[in-house]
Amino acid sequence: MPRSAELQRLIDGLALFPDWEERYRAIIDLGKRLEPLSDEEHSETNRVRGCVSQVWLVEDEPEQDPVRMHFRADSDSFIVKGLIGILLSMYDGQPPEAIVEMDSMKVFGELGLDRHLSPLRSNGLFSIDREIKKRAAARVA
């Protein structure tokens, strides 16, 4: 499946940082650029289970774009917000079929996330990823 230009720019950009401290800062900066959620969207209904940090995921209504899926998300953790930014660069604006087929583990490996995130952070990242794919699978069905 071809990658979005945004995702490829992100992968290429993070590869420029040889030091993981610098990559973490870049990932945190990515999270700072997320579109904020409203107070109402920070609800229990939108909370993603399986994350140590608080994470809220909102899917825009399909009527706005019946062909592609659009997501917004937030977290109470700066690094998790950055990880959400990575996920959104993978999935936002993609058709549900492409989201279901995306090999996110391969992308996480290319970014080095599989080696540099703590087990708790990895579990949280996988929980958000699973939730997005679950919502995409429901649209495909």
Name every residue whose Cβ is closer than 8 Å to that of residue 1 and which is 6 or more positions away in sequence: 98, 101, 102, 103
46 and 25 Cβ atoms separated by less than 8 Å: no
Q: Residue 100 and residue 137: Cα distance in Å, rounded?
A: 6
Catalytic residue among 10, 48, 51, 55, which?
A: 51
Percent of the chain clearing pLDDT 70 (strictly above): 99
C-alpha closest to that of 140 among 56, 69, 45, 86? 69
Q: Residue 86 and residue 51: Cα distance in Å, rounded?
A: 16
For 5-140, CATH number?
3.90.1010.10
For 10-65, how does the pLDDT look when each residue is reduced to its tens digit (9 = 90+)?
889 998 988 989 999 999 999 999 999 999 999 999 999 988 899 999 999 877 78
Tokens of 117: 């995130």
Predicted confidence band at 4 (pLDDT cuts at 50, 70, 90)? confident
Predicted confidence band at 138 (pLDDT cuts at 50, 70, 90)? very high
Mean pLDDT over each residue of the chain, to the nearest integer: 91
Q: Does the structure show a pLDDT above 80 at 68?
A: yes
The DSSP-derived string for 103-139 is -HHHHHHHHTHHHHS-HHHHHHHHHHHHHHHHHHHHH
* Catalytic status, residue 3: no
